[in-house]
Chain A
Amino acid sequence: MFIGLEYVVSAYGIWVCTFAIYILLTKRRLKKTNQTVVALEQRASESYHNF
């Protein structure tokens, strides 16, 4: 009944792992760019007030 199970497991396994890693990396990238934008905006407004 389960002839070829290893192919099915590897296809589904690779698919799930790829998207899990891709989603994690994309979320991390979004968080980092978001933080950098906020920090830079803050620095820009601080230097404007100091000036």
Chain B
Amino acid sequence: MNNISEEERKKILESSPVGTWALMLIVGGGMVIAWLMMYYGVFLPRGHIG
């Protein structure tokens, strides 16, 4: 925090958190893929109860 200029600091505080957006997309996408894998890869192949 000490090594950056005031201009850089202001830029950081005002810029969009692109890394967060990327992480949220990765995590959200990963959850959707994992859910689909669970549904089609584990749940449906088990077939009907009994």
Q: Do A and B come from one complex?
A: no
Residues in chain A within 8 A of chain B (CB atoms): none
Residues in chain B within 8 A of chain A (CB atoms): none
